[in-house]
Amino acid sequence: METARTQQLAQKNYWEELLKMRDEQRAHLKDALQVVRGDELPQEVNPQGLMRWYLHPAIKDTVLQTFIFFEQEIPPGSRTGRMRFQGGQVIIILEGSGYTMLDGVKHSWSKDDVLNLPIRGPGIVVQHFNTDPKNPAKFVAVEPNWFACTTVDRGSGFEQLEDAPEYQKAKRSR
The reply to whether 19 falls in a domain is no
> Stretch 85-91: mean pLDDT, rounded?
96
pLDDT (0 to 100) of residue 1: 79
Chain CA centroid to CA 56, Å: 7
Give me the CATH number covering residue 61: 2.60.120.10
pLDDT in tens, 7-55: 999 999 898 998 898 899 889 889 999 999 999 999 999 999 999 999 9
- The pTM score is 0.83
User: At residue 132, does pLDDT exceed 80?
Assistant: yes
Q: What is the pLDDT of residues 53-74, one digit of tens each?
A: 999 999 999 998 889 999 999 9
Q: Which pLDDT belongs to residue 151?
A: 67
Q: What is the pLDDT of residue 9?
A: 94
Q: Total structural domains in the chain? A: 1
| Domain annotation covers residue 92 | yes
The CA distances from residue 140 to 38, 75, 94, 101, in Å, are: 12, 15, 7, 17
Residue 23 placed within a domain: no
pLDDT (tens digit per residue) in 134-167: 999 999 999 998 777 676 776 677 888 999 999 9
Parent domain of 128:
38-172
Q: Which candidate, 2, 4, 69, places its Cα nearest to that of 36?
A: 69
